[in-house]
Structure 1
Amino acid sequence: MSIIEYLSDNEMLEEQGDIEKTQKRMREESESEWTTVGQSKEKKLKENEKIEVYISSKEKLPKQFTLAKIFKDQNITDIIRVKYLNPFKVRVDLISEISAQNLKECQYFKDKNWRIQKALERNFSYGTIRDVDLDLTNEKIVEKIRCDQPAQLISAYRLSRRNLTEPGWIPSETVRLCFKGSFIPSYVYVEELRVKVESYEFPVTQCSRCWKFGHRKVRCPSLKIVCPKCAKNHENCENTTFKCVNCLGNHMALSKVCPKFLKEKKLRSLMSEFNCTYRKAFEIYVPPEINDLEEERKGNEKRTSNTSTYAGVTKKKKLIKTSKQIKKQYSENIHPQCAFNNNAQSDSENMEDNHCYEKKSPTRNSNDHRAKDFNIGELLRRLKEIIFLRGVTVRSKVVAVFKCCIEWIIITVVENVSEWPILKLLLDYLQHEND
């Protein structure tokens, strides 16, 4: 895995840890930071005059004494503060722009594959192209792509998608392009053919150890294991009363209706829209109103509750339905509207005279025809749900489709048997004989 590919996965997280820490109460001293000591007569530097530079690596950075020695050996001066955000990232506050530039251009850090980035500055920007041949490697894709100035293509990375037939991930035809700087071209050229570049939105990363957002398990700064159900310090439990570790709500930490998750998703959407850093997106982010957030949460819960899974269907008890139960089940979605039409028709008959009867007969026929149309529509909807059900074998689908059609035929026969002419004649004859 190249350094560019690794850094791209953590582009939007460069300043997230620092932002989250600023929301807590500030301590005067910390074990993970140090400040330089100067003359007592010097005036304190204003907050807006310091230059913030972030150093990150895919491996753990040296501790304070070793890092201080490296700065001294590389002649990096004018440092007023160094703060460890996590074992993989530190923030360095400098006085002058020259010192910040020397830190960025230091060859020692480049050889170590450390990433140096100023606050609110984008070193890399990302876009995507689609319909790329699966047999092409990332290096071949970079060789075949040409882009106009000032865009400069650095690397390409093929994205993955879920395998629909087996568990796991497989390569997709979508490729993410990494450009140097903050400029993303609208098009790139492949063999003189213009290809559109679409914006790329980073997914919301969540740790599977502490269940916080913004990092993965391999880069988790905490050693405590948190339960995703009850938010206590143990692994997954059988508790049915949920408590989110992020918002303290009554849902699991993996829930997609969590306000913290929705906020992180919105921040990444802003990053993609304005091509900015996480910190800049955090500054322009406008929190939603409580009513809007509650409506969105209820909508997500409703969509989630209406979605049935194969595992949930198999756990339900199998019921043997009679013909009356089947008729009642299929009629629930049909008869309410027909009843409404019949009630409206009977009210109008009471208000109008008898001459209106001939005019209302076509309406009654149209209502009957509408009921039949609804019946067929219900059948088609159920067949569609069965056909597109995931995780079910073809044989099971065929059996389910056959059963559904048989049930529909039974319902249709039961509803229309009283209208058959032969049956009417037979009933009239039997009634005449009884008389």
Structure 2
Amino acid sequence: MESPGGTGSPPRKKSNRNIDYEIIEDIIGTRNLSQTPQGPLQNNSEAILAESNPDLTSQNAHAPEQKATLTESAFNPEFNSNETIYTAKDKTPFTVYIESTEKSGNNIGGFNHLKIAKDIFDLKLSNILKINIKGRNRLGVDFDSFKAANNFLQNKHLKNLGYDIFIPKNYTSCKGIVRAIPKMFSMKTIVQNSTSRECRVISCTRLNRKVIDKEKKSVEYIPTTTVLYTFEGTRLPRDIQVFGLDMQIKPYVPPVTQCFNCFRYGHTKKICKSKKNALIVEA
């Protein structure tokens, strides 16, 4: 049977595969990322990261422009916002990253993983399970106990050699979004009155929606009723109690991050260690 258009094939159905992405983009305010009177806006991933993680703003070359995207955040006073360590609740392996810097002299001109590994090996630490390559000039050291991993963070010998030692935040925490939290409540109030039966709340951040007025040629960031929660541990709780009311938590899917220096993925321009590459776009 022919379709109304006269062809022998039935009309194509509209695909729904992008629905989830559109919902996420609408929540975190990345719609209509286009040209502004001052030039192109930052890329989607950097804008989203700035909204959901204010700590990354200082690492971004577009920091002055992104100040408008930052949302209200509040930390649980029980946690040190500047420190990431393991606890007895975390599971093995307890991985710590060690990264060479210009001061250490091991990241100039290539991949010097063996030199970094040798400096660790010379310490003769008994709690190391294995050492893995985690990227350019970066290794991951797996420990058999959380205390040994935390002690490694403070290793004075390696720090004097110029190494950066840290635990990635996603190894000790997880994130989820909760909707329908009225804007009348501050994040300080929300974080102080949010509890979970499964884990503790570390912080709360209210997300913005980005609105572009094409006629006025202006960009505005409007707070939404969606809040990004950061929880202790790597397992997202099933629900959370806000003022004693059970509210549903949905997983937070972070955006893909692209560097505008080397145009690779997984980091931003400010922390890029590669040489600048040219992006060639064929007509």
TM-score range, shorter chain: 0.3 to 0.5
More helix per residue: 1
Task: For CA contacts below 8 A with separation 6 or more, give which structure has more relative contact order.
Answer: 2
More strand per residue: 2
